Amino acid sequence: MNAPRRSLVFAFLGLALAAGGIGFFLGRGPTSATLPAEAKRAPLIGIASLTGEAYVRAVREAGGIPVVLPNTGGNAEKVSEYLARLDGLLMPGGADIPPSEYGEEPHETVEPLDGDRYRFEKALVTAWIEETDKPLLGICLGSQWINVATGGSLVQDIPSELDSNHRDTTHPVAIEPDSRLARIFGATELEVNSFHHQAADRIGEGLRAVAKAPDGVVEATETTDPARFLIGVQWHPEKMAGDEAQAKLLRAFVEAAAE
């Protein structure tokens, strides 16, 4: 082979190798289609009016990125931005919703939310339910907010009205077999913790009661829309670290927010 031809062949080989190298880095490098599932973007989960670090830890361990939403000054002007940017919302436990929200005079045991938190959470949960189809998980007070925001009412004091105790105890719950909650747990019976003195009474529009305690107290509600994750539970899954059943609920919530 003469020199000019050898030079041409070597030049061609060089270009081919260079193109192959570029193709390797472009075609074989990480893309959204080839990244493992755990490396894809974790969903942003808003936690309203943070009341304890357990909520942050629970969201993080379930695979979400916790975002604490302050209620200072009522903070209702930020609600539209939260609706746009967050992938899921967790409404945590706390004090009591003013009974005027569901047209009743307060029982003597009611300890109402402070003004800032009340105004912020009312605006946030109402807008989240009505203006988005994004996942929502309510825990204790959060579950009560979901019920009241959809037109429901509450048993204001379980001990005096129903002669039963749900504070600082544990008890079983029976879950409706055809519910999303039963599918998440893979069970229709569950042992839960209990720290509340109120619970859903009249069920809100678009909700159904899907779990009850042995005394008949409603322990969980969910939306009647099968396409949406919207669940409220009276117990505290975030306080049951290491309980695989409760971990299923938190993971299902975060996974729904990631979709």
- Give CA–CA dist 70/117, Å, rounded: 9
Say which of 121, 219, 222, 238 is annotated catalytic: 238
Cβ-Cβ contacts under 8 Å for 157 (sequence gap 6 or more): 107, 109, 110, 197, 198
Burial class (CB in 10 A: 0-12, 13-18, 19+), 90: buried
Catalytic one among 140, 166, 171, 197?
140
236 given a catalytic annotation: yes
Q: Which of 166, 171, 196, 236 is catalytic?
A: 236
**What's the confidence (pLDDT) of residue 53?**
93
Q: Which residue has the tokens 């009341």?
A: 51
CB contact at 8 A, 166 and 213: yes
The pTM is what? 0.85
pLDDT of residue 104: 98
pLDDT at 9: 38
Whether 203 and 167 have beta carbons less than 8 Å apart is answered as: no
User: Beta strand 44-48 with 65-69: parallel, antiparallel or unpaired?
Assistant: parallel
Q: Nearest-CA neighbor of 125 among 102, 95, 148, 94? A: 148
Task: Verify whether residue 140 is a known catalytic residue.
Answer: yes
Residue labelled with tokens 């989960």: 45
Rounded distance, CA 145 to CA 152, Å?
Answer: 9
From first to last of the 259 residues of the chain, give the pLDDT tens digit. Answer: 544 444 433 343 343 333 333 332 223 333 334 445 445 789 999 999 977 899 999 999 999 999 999 998 888 999 999 999 999 999 999 999 999 999 999 999 999 999 999 999 999 999 999 999 999 999 999 999 999 999 999 999 999 999 999 999 999 999 999 999 999 999 999 999 999 999 999 999 999 999 999 999 999 999 999 999 999 999 999 999 789 999 999 999 999 999 9
Catalogue the E-assigned strands of the chain.
44-48, 65-69, 88-91, 136-139, 154-155, 169-175, 189-194, 199-200, 207-212, 218-223, 230-233
- Which residue has tokens 């729904």? 256
Other C-beta atoms closer than 10 Å to the C-beta of 44 total 18
Superfamily of domain 45-258: Class I glutamine amidotransferase (GATase) domain (3.40.50.880)
> How many other CB atoms are found less than 10 A from the CB of residue 104?
14
Domain boundaries, the chain: 1-40, 45-258
Q: What is the DSSP letter of 151?
A: T
197 is catalytic: no
